[in-house]
Amino acid sequence: MKCRGFLFDLDGTLVDSLSVVERAWTEWGARHGFDAETILDFVHGKQAITSVRHFLQGASEEKIQQEFLLLEKREAEDTEGITALPGARQLLATLDELHIPWAIVTSGSMPVASARHRVAGLATPDIFITAERVERGKPEPDPYMLGAQLLGLEPEECVVVEDANAGILSGLAAGCHVVAVSPPADAPRLDAVAMVLNSLEEMVISKDGEGWVSVHRRH
């Protein structure tokens, strides 16, 4: 697989924030009469506002925005247990050393995503796309199409690195190569992704003199 740039999801791909996500959404679901399994089966990889709208169908827009802001505040302030996932820091450092462009493309809002990125101690991306920058979030193709555009690349020149169902679908719909990292057992369209990894530690990259990057799995 060859590319010119990388588009990374944040939560579950570069950063282990699962405990924070589950704490916040389980508490929110309990307040609204939803059990944890129902909530957590839906929210992963999607914008928070999308999930709030899904579970509060029929509520006023004012109520939806109010609930979203409460969730956003809760998730931005709770950073306990957040760490970089294995291989994440080294991979990003390698991209920077080789001058390979990369972006973070997350469904999280800027307050939430920036807090998690900072606590995890990750390198600063060339481009940081959060929920505020797209009208349609994952699984629609818009986030990753915008990521490619802002890197100055065509979607087919980019590798999307994702863990969640919504993100895998988004990357494929955008026309990018997709690397799925520890995807769910029921992840859709795994037959269409370029590579499935258990960890970012398995990804090996090299760059030729013309700026093309080769991506391999470590054996």
Catalytic residue numbers, as ranges: 9, 11
3-class secondary-structure state, position 175: coil
Distance CA 112, CA 74 (A): 9
Report the 3 state secondary structure along 108-166: CCHHHHHHHHHHHCCCCCCEEECHHHCCCCCCCCHHHHHHHHHHCCCHHHEEEEECCHH
Going by C-alpha positions, the residue among 71, 73, 67, 82 that lies closest to residue 111 is 73
